[in-house]
Amino acid sequence: MSQALLPKPLYPQNLALLRRIALNALNLEQSLKRSNRQKSNRAAMDNNYMLTVLTACLSQYDDTSQPPCQ
C-alpha cells in the first residue's frame, strides 16, 4: 500500500484537544486563586490537588448530555 493512501496521523489534533481539556479543568477549579501555570505545576506535584482539579471539572456535569470539561 502506498504511503499516500495511509491516513494522516492525528497526533497534533489529539494533543491540542487534551491541552484544551486540561486548561478548562484548571479554569473550573476555584479553590486556589492562582494562575493556570501555577495550578498546573501544583497539580503535577500534588496528587491530592490533581484530584481536586478533576473533581471540579467532572462535578460541573451531572448528566451525560454534555461532554465534561469542554
Taking the C-alpha atoms of residue 49 and residue 16, their distance in angstroms, rounded to an integer, is: 23
Q: Residue 32 has what DSSP assignment?
A: S
Rounded average pLDDT over 16-43: 92
Taking the C-alpha atoms of residue 37 and residue 68, their distance in angstroms, rounded to an integer, is: 21
Q: What is the number of residues in the chain? A: 70
Return the higher-pLDDT residue of 61 and 25. Answer: 25
Return the higher-pLDDT residue of 3 and 15. Answer: 15
**Confidence at residue 32, expressed as pLDDT on a 0 to 100 scale:** 87
pLDDT in tens, 39-69: 999 999 999 999 999 998 888 766 566 665 6
| Cell numbers linked to 60 | 460541573
Rounded average pLDDT over 4-17: 81
Chain-centre distance of CA 1, in angstroms? 36
